Chains A and B, each alone.
Chain A
C-alpha cells in the first residue's frame, strides 16, 4: 500500500474487498480527517502542469506529508511513501 497524492480526497488507492469499511475504518478518526484535509490542500495548491502555487504551499504540503507518514507508522500501518510531485 502506498501513501501518496492521488488527485483525490484520499491518499491511498484501495481496490480490494472493502466490506470491512476499508482503511478509514481502521485508522484514528482524527488522522482520517487530516489525511483528507492534506489531499484537499494538495488539490487546491498543486497544478498538474505548473506545480505548486507557491514555495510556501510546497513547504506546507511536504511537511504535512512527513508528519502524516509518521502518524501512520505510529498506527502500525504498513505502507510505502512516494513523493512523485517533488
Chain B
C-alpha cells in the first residue's frame, strides 16, 4: 500500500477550489468552517481521485459544497429527486454530464433497465464496496461517472447505439494526516448514443467495455 504525505501545495495544484477558499478566507478575515475542515479531514475520510481529469472528490466533503461553485464537483444528489424516482418518475433528470463523445448526457431516474433505478437495483452493493462503506454511494457513483464521461481513457462503440466509457479512479483514505492509496478501479459507464442517457455505471476493477 502506497502512502503519500498530504501536502497542501500539491492539493492546491490539483484542486483550484481550495485556492478559491483561501481567497474567500482572506477577504473576510476569518477562517470558514469549510476551510478548517479542509486542513484537517477526519481520520478515515475516503477521497477519490481522477488522474485523467485532475480532480478530487470526497464522500464526506473536505470543503463545504454549498459555499463553493466548481463545475468539476457534483453537488450531492437531491433527495427529493430520488424520492420522485422511487415514485416512478422515469424521465426525471437526476444528473447531467458533459461527455467527450456524446455531448451532454443525462442520468435519469429510469427503470429496472436503465438509469438511476437500474444502477441502484443492480450495482449499489458494488459501489458500496468500492467506496469502502462511505455514506453516499450514489454521490460517489455520480462523480466517478462524470469523470469517466468527461475524461475517459477509453471510449468504445458498442452495438445497439451504445458507447462505453472508462477512466481510472483512485481511492485514498486519510490516516494520521497522510493519504494512503487503497485501490484503483475502472468504472464501466454505458451511454445510449441515440437517447443521450446513461444506461448504467458499474464500479468494475477492470473495465468491461
Contact = CB atoms under 8 A, between A and B. Distances in A.
B204 A49 contact: no
Contact of B159 (A40, A84, A85): A40
Contacts of A4: 122
B130 A15 contact: yes
Interface string B102-122: 000000001111100000011
B206 A22 contact: yes
Q: Is chain B's binding surface mostly helix, strand, loop or mixed? A: mixed
Given A7-B190, A43-B159, A85-B113, A49 B206 contact: no
Interface residues of B, number: 31
Contacts, number: 72
Nearest to A47: B160
Contact of B209 (A8, A15, A44): A8
Contact of B195 (A8, A10, A18, A48): A48
Contact of B206 (A18, A43, A47, A84): A18
A4 B126 CA distance: 15
Given A6-B122, A84-B122, A43 B113 contact: no
Nearest to A10: B208
A84 B160 CA distance: 19
B202 A6 contact: yes
B199 A48 contact: yes
A16 B48 CA distance: 17
Interface string A40-54: 100111111101000
B136 interface: no
A4 B199 CA distance: 15
B36 interface: no
Contact of A43 (B121, B160, B197, B205): B160
B120 to A, nearest CB: 12
Interface of B: 110-114, 121-123, 126, 129-130, 158-160, 162, 164, 185, 188, 190, 192, 195, 197, 199-200, 202-206, 208-209
Given A15-B129, A51-B113, 10 more contacts: A4-B122, A8-B164, A9-B158, A9-B208, A14-B205, A15-B205, A22-B205, A44-B160, A48-B113, A49-B195
Per CB-CB distance, the 4 closest pairs between chain A and chain B, nearest first, are A8-B208, A44-B159, A48-B114, A10-B208
